[in-house]
Amino acid sequence: MELFDVHFQKRGLIFDPRTKLFTMLTIVIFVVGGYGTVPDMLVFFLEILPILLLLTVGKFKKAFLYSIIYGTAQASMLWGIAFLPETVRYIVTLFAVFIIRISPGMIMGAYIFSSTTVSEFMAAMQKMHVPNQISIPLSVMFRFFPTVMEEFESINHAMAMRDIRFGGKNAMKIIEYKLVPLMICSVKIGNELSAAALTRGLNANAKRTNICEIGFHVQDIFLFLIMLVPYAAVIFTKLGVLS
């Protein structure tokens, strides 16, 4: 539930969904894929950027939690591993690298989900000329996941009441116990959601209006320019300007 919790009254700094998607793309390219092609400082900035963005929409608790996780991973890479025995060092390195590379993308995802409304997303997709056949299913995700998470919470409560916990010989069974009711409820909700949307004229082939005002503002241009820096760095390196 927390993840998708958009506060409509105090939304903080609003970015255009396209800016967010471009930022996401840049983070994925340079943090997950491209170590060594751009200066380390730049990569470091991209890694902590999602946390800063979370702060702009007032998700302080979440931002704090992620900085702790990321900080721990980064610190253990910089200073921790030197003191560890060799076998442990490999495991720690593995985990730390995994967290440092993967988590920025995930945090960015969390930021996008908790700061974008369905209408904004649809409007952005329309402006980018993404066909309805792709944008409608994607926008349903915004709606579907919070519902499924509510279901998941109920299932967890039911399991707590039955005193079914992780551990012991039942560990594998537990996953089954959680998934079976979750899947049955998800299918049911998915069906109800589609039926409701169809009776209100949602249709992939027709042209749809969108009343949501989106557009690029000062903050968008600012973020866009920053996001262009790593690409520029790569080009300049290739040209031999930077070395």
Partner 1 sequence: MIQIENINFQYAETEEKALDNFGIEIQDGQCVLLCGESGCGKTSAIRLINGLIPHFYEGTLQGSCTVNGLDVFSSPLEQISRFVGTVFQNPRSQFFCVDTTGEIAFAPENLGLEKSEILDRVNKTVQQFHIESLMNRNIFRLSGGEKQKIACASVSALEPDVIVLDEPTSNLDQDGIKMLGNIVQFWKQQGKTIIIAEHRLGWLKHLADRVVCLKKGIIQLDLSGEQFFAQSDQELNLLGLRGTNLKSDYFCYESPGLKCIDKTFLEKQISNREYLFSDFVFGYDRKKIILNMNGLKIPEHSVVAIVGRNGVGKTTFSKCLCGIQKGFYGSVSIGNTKYKGKQLRNLCYMVMQDVNHQLFTDSVEEEISLGLAEVDEKTVDDVLQKLDLTELKKRHPMSLSGGQKQRTAIGSAYLSNRNILIFDEPTSGLDFQRMEKTAKLIQKISQEKTVLIVTHDAELIQKCCTHLLVFV
* Contact residues for partner 1, defined by CB under 8 A: 1, 4-9, 117-119, 140, 142-143, 146-147, 150-151, 154-155, 157-164, 176-178, 180-181, 184-185, 188-189, 192-203, 206-212
Q: How far is the CB of 111 from partner 1 (least distance, A)?
A: 16
CA distance 216 to 176: 46
Q: How far is the CB of 21 from partner 1 (least distance, A)?
A: 18
CA distance 197 to 19: 28
Other beta carbons within 10 angstroms of residue 90's beta carbon come to: 12
Q: How far is the CB of 134 from partner 1 (least distance, A)?
A: 17
Cα dist. 150→142, 181, 192, 208, 211 in Å? Answer: 14, 13, 16, 30, 29
Q: How far is the CB of 139 from partner 1 (least distance, A)?
A: 8
Q: How far is the CB of 4 from partner 1 (least distance, A)?
A: 7
Q: How far is the CB of 153 from partner 1 (least distance, A)?
A: 9
Q: How far is the CB of 239 from partner 1 (least distance, A)?
A: 46
Q: Which one, 199 or 243, has the nearer CB to partner 1?
A: 199
Q: Which one, 87 or 199, has the nearer CB to partner 1?
A: 199
Q: Which one, 41 or 211, has the nearer CB to partner 1?
A: 211
Q: Which one, 40 or 163, has the nearer CB to partner 1?
A: 163
DSSP-based three-state secondary structure for 176: helix
Q: Which one, 94 or 153, has the nearer CB to partner 1?
A: 153
Q: Which one, 88 or 195, has the nearer CB to partner 1?
A: 195
CA distance 202 to 133: 11
HEC states along 69-103? HHHHHHHHHHHHHHHCCHHHHHHHHHHHHHHHHHH
Contacts for 237 with CB less than 8 Å, ≥ 6 apart: 37, 38, 243
How many residues are given for the chain? 243
HEC states along 106-153? HHHHHHHHHHCCHHHHHHHHHHCCCCHHHHHHHHHHHHHHHHHHHHHH
Q: Which one, 3 or 242, has the nearer CB to partner 1?
A: 3
